[in-house]
Amino acid sequence: MAQNLRVAIVGAGIGGLTAAVALHRHGIDVKVYEQSQHITEIGAGVSLSPNAIKALRALGLSAPIAEIGFESDHQLVRSWNTGDIVSKVFRKGIYEKEFGAPYLSMHRADLVDVLRRQLPEGVFRLGMQCVGAEADETKGRAYFADGTVEEADILVGADGIRSAVRRSLFGDEKPRFTGSVCWRGLVPLDAFPPGLISTDLTLYMGPRSHVIHFMVRGGKVVNFVAHVETNSWTGESWTQECDRAEVLQTFAGWHPPLLQLLSASERYYKWALYDREPLDRWTKGRVTLLGDSAHAMLPHIGQGACMAIEDGYALAEVVAQLPYNLNEALRQYERLRLPRTRRAVLEARARGKEMHLTSKWAQLRRNIRLAFQHQVAGDKTGLKLAEFYEYDVASASRLSDRVPRV
């Protein structure tokens, strides 16, 4: 019966594509509507913790994800000005043992390409800008800028933090500017003397700011993201180019090897960080949300893309198990995903404040605690994130006999 269902997904980002792949695996007719003319991604890195890797493995993507992913030996936390190591967590092989999967970093475009290649070309409708949606108890409808109206048994809004689908369901609530701006860049590792830039995932924490860098493209390219608290610019686009001088002026006085990294990118992009207050519900009738449309969060615990991947997998699983009662399937999807994603949104906010402490004494106390958590308390993540990494969405999504047939 699932084969007779039609699901329409608005948005071809990581979450929307994961949902499409998972639905297609179940033989469900799925269409993806994307406003761009191409299925692509911006030039940036993404880190996927074990919980996301387990979801991708459950979709049969172990081999292509291993090909594009990089697993660092350690996770380092460093002092912003001296470079002193605050915490050093050995990860390679350990995360597989402790959490059931590794922690991999990769280029976003590579991940999107892996997902896209799992789907036939006929799934995609490109150049389709969604301007609104409508729900009732039997169908969902999407309205597009060119006048097209598409109807499906389920409509999924995966169209980002400024989602038109979300706005249609719950009103025009503006995203919350968090008071931080980011710069990002990519640099080939061979641009530096051997050993100058660590291939480990590295976090520098400074007053009202932090920088993280990690490897992509199989360990050949360094991706960096530099955050600072400021309200001098509030643009949200990930493709806004800026000058090198902005970055170097902002982080003057930081650890010299880090400054060499920050000065070496050919292009620099900046964006302002926004999130949203967690919703109490994502669904009306046959229309629901996933990813940033549902729970846009700060990047400080590395769970934005991971939660979107889990959302996509969970949605497909409950729909495939309850094709005879799609309204109940969407309620089950909410029950599975709302509490977990709410915790992620709030934890990311709290972690940002912890990383940006200004008092030297507060920084010292934080650094001692981080070292204690790993070396004495046995925290394998180094940042008390085990509750996120342990989760297996494939197991959690199995409804068994909990839902009666109707």
* Structure confidence by residue, pLDDT tens digits, 311-358: 999 999 999 999 999 999 999 999 999 999 999 999 998 887 777 777
Number of domains in the chain: 1
pLDDT at 273: 87
Ranges 17-21, 324-328, 380-384, 400-404: which has the least confidence:
400-404
* Structure confidence by residue, pLDDT tens digits, 30-83: 999 999 998 876 668 999 999 999 999 999 999 999 999 999 999 999 999 999
pLDDT at 406: 44
Answer yes or no: is 102 within a domain.
Answer: yes
Tell me which range, 210-219, 345-354, 381-390, is most confidently predicted by mean pLDDT.
210-219
Answer yes or no: is 337 within a domain.
Answer: yes
Secondary structure of 195-219 as H, E, C letters: CCCCCCEEEEEECCEEEEEEEEHHH
Answer yes or no: is 211 within a domain.
Answer: no
Position 364 confidence tier, pLDDT thresholds 50, 70, 90: confident
pLDDT at 179: 84
Position 1 confidence tier, pLDDT thresholds 50, 70, 90: very low
Answer yes or no: is 290 within a domain.
Answer: yes
pLDDT at 91: 86
Mean per-residue pLDDT for 149-158?
A: 98
The rounded percent of the chain whose pLDDT value lies above 90 is 73
Answer yes or no: is 310 within a domain.
Answer: yes
Res 401 pLDDT > 70: no
Res 376 pLDDT > 90: no
Position 212 confidence tier, pLDDT thresholds 50, 70, 90: very high
The rounded percent of the chain whose pLDDT value lies above 70 is 92
Ranges 130-139, 156-165, 394-403: which has the least confidence:
394-403
Q: Is the dihedral of CA 397, 398, 401, 404 positive or negative?
A: positive
Answer yes or no: is 192 within a domain.
Answer: no
Answer yes or no: is 133 within a domain.
Answer: yes
Averaged pLDDT of the chain:
90
Burial class (CB in 10 A: 0-12, 13-18, 19+), 182: middle
pLDDT at 373: 64
User: Which CATH number do you get for residue 391?
Assistant: 3.50.50.60
Q: Who wins on pLDDT, 368 or 387?
A: 387
Res 362 pLDDT > 80: no
* Non-local CB neighbours of 142 within 8 Å, separated by 6+ positions: 8, 10, 33, 130, 132, 133, 149, 150, 152, 155, 165
Range of the domain at 166: 2-175+276-395
Residue 38 CB neighbour total at 10 angstroms: 11
Mean per-residue pLDDT for 108-128?
A: 96
Answer yes or no: is 191 within a domain.
Answer: no
